[in-house]
Amino acid sequence: MSNFSDYIENKLVDHIFRAASFTKPTNLYIALFTSAPSDSGGGTEVSGGSYARQALNPSDTNWYATQGGTTGNSSGTGGATSNAVDVVFPQATANWGTVVALAIFDAVTGGNLLFQGSLSVSKTINTGDQAKLAAGDCDIVLS
């Protein structure tokens, strides 16, 4: 997943190249989609059946540095990070459908879409299933 949303692209351009500053989000939430969003939003987020976005807040223990590992500042050359811990969603109490994409937001509901991307393999989540992103599965590439 490496697609920046229009929102975050605009914030970064204004912060780096223009006069506006941008305060990074204090909270990040992983969301699952049965119809992929685009950079401008949309898509169909899973709802019902005990679904809830899962927090994976900015921290050195939650996200790998660009050179790998969870200590020290990023110094790698790949411009990439990924989740350093598992992200486990609640057990589905109803069918969620086929999850085809995920996104990162700055709020548990609503909020601003920051990043989005399609899954390499779609996953059908039925009653009793539990979605999980193992450590390293949520790749963010800045290129």
For 74-96, give the DSSP string: ---SS-EEEBSS-EEEEEPSS--
* Residue 2 pLDDT > 90: no
Look up residue 88 and give its two tokens: 């486990």
Q: What is the 8-class DSSP label of residue 138?
A: S
Whether the predicted pLDDT of 29 surpasses 70: yes
CA gap 4, 131 in Å, rounded:
23
Question: How long a stretch of residues is the chain?
Answer: 143
Average of pLDDT values for 41-70? 96
Using 50, 70 and 90 to split pLDDT, how confident is the model at 142? confident
- Picking from 52, 143, 34, 50, the residue whose alpha carbon sits closest to that of residue 97 is 34
CA distances from 142 to 13, 77, 97 (A): 14, 10, 30
pLDDT for 143 equals 74
Question: How remote is the C-alpha of 61 from its chain's centroid?
Answer: 16
Helix (H) or strand (E) holding 10: helix 6-17
How does pLDDT run across 97-118, given as a tens digit for each residue? 999 999 999 999 999 999 999 9
CA distance 8 to 37: 15
50 within 8 A of 91, measured Cβ to Cβ: yes
| Paired strand residues for 3 | 116
Evaluate if residue 27 carries a pLDDT over 80. Answer: yes
pLDDT-based confidence at 85, cuts 50/70/90?
very high
**Strand, coil or helix: what is 139?**
strand
Q: Given this model, what pLDDT does residue 1 score?
A: 61
Across the range 120-132, mean pLDDT stands at 97
